[in-house]
Amino acid sequence: MSGTTELVDFEPKKEAHGIPQLKVVVVGSFTAEEGRTYLVDSAKRVSELPMIRDLMRASDREVFICLHLSTKNCLISWEVVSVGSLNASIVHPREVFKGAALANAASIVVAHNHPSGDAEPSAADILLTQRLVRVGDILGIEVLDHVIFGGDECVSLRERQLM
């Protein structure tokens, strides 16, 4: 996907009693290049996304990402939600869904790596996924999968029926 970025000045407006008014501004817009619409309908497709695969393999720390998808499971955008340590990262649902809501995503796929090379989900991975699913249900943004990368392997929590 190619992107164009425009600079936007942001000055919060003062409202009554000196409380700033929040103003959401788009600072980048993206259009799909000819033939470059990415369908994300399986863990295999996630693992084939070059930018995700390269990021997950190259990192020596846990990196947690969120893919924002359209109603037809096409990639709208993606973001790095958290960069952690060798064996942990702090992930809060608020941060996961903030970008998804701003991208008008119908659904998301989350993914992270295990720098140890072992793609097996931990108990903490499973609990986080279940929490994200519950929050997604409330917000109306479905969590389609949580994919864990380890070495050259990836594991889908959806395929393992862990979510």
Q: What is the pLDDT of residue 2?
A: 43
In a domain, residue 12? The reply is no
In a domain, residue 29? The reply is no
In a domain, residue 53? The reply is yes
The domain total for the chain is: 1
In a domain, residue 50? The reply is yes
DSSP for 71-100, written as a single string: TTSBEEEEEEEEE--SS-----HHHHHHHH
Q: How far apart are CA 134 and CA 139, in angstroms?
A: 9
Q: What is the pLDDT of residue 51?
A: 86
In a domain, residue 1? The reply is no
In total, the chain counts a number of residues equal to 163
- Backbone angles phi and psi of 151, in degrees to 5: 60, -130
Q: What is the pLDDT of residue 41?
A: 86
In a domain, residue 31? The reply is no
pLDDT tens-digit profile of 91-112? 999 999 999 999 999 999 999 9
In a domain, residue 132? The reply is yes
State the Rg of the chain over Cα.
Answer: 17
In a domain, residue 57? The reply is yes
Q: How far apart are CA 17 and CA 33, in angstroms?
A: 47
The residue ranking higher by pLDDT, 75 or 18, is 75
CATH number of 144's domain: 3.40.140.10
pLDDT tens-digit profile of 28-62? 545 555 456 788 988 888 988 888 888 988 899 99
Q: What is the pLDDT of residue 3?
A: 47
Q: Which residue range is the domain that position 93 belongs to?
A: 37-156
Q: What is the pLDDT of residue 1?
A: 41
Work out the pLDDT band at 115, boundaries 50, 70, 90: very high
Kindly give, in sequence order, each residue whose CB lies less than 8 Å from that of residue 136, ignoring residues fewer than 6 positions away.
97, 107, 108, 142, 143
Q: Is the pLDDT of residue 79 over 50?
A: yes
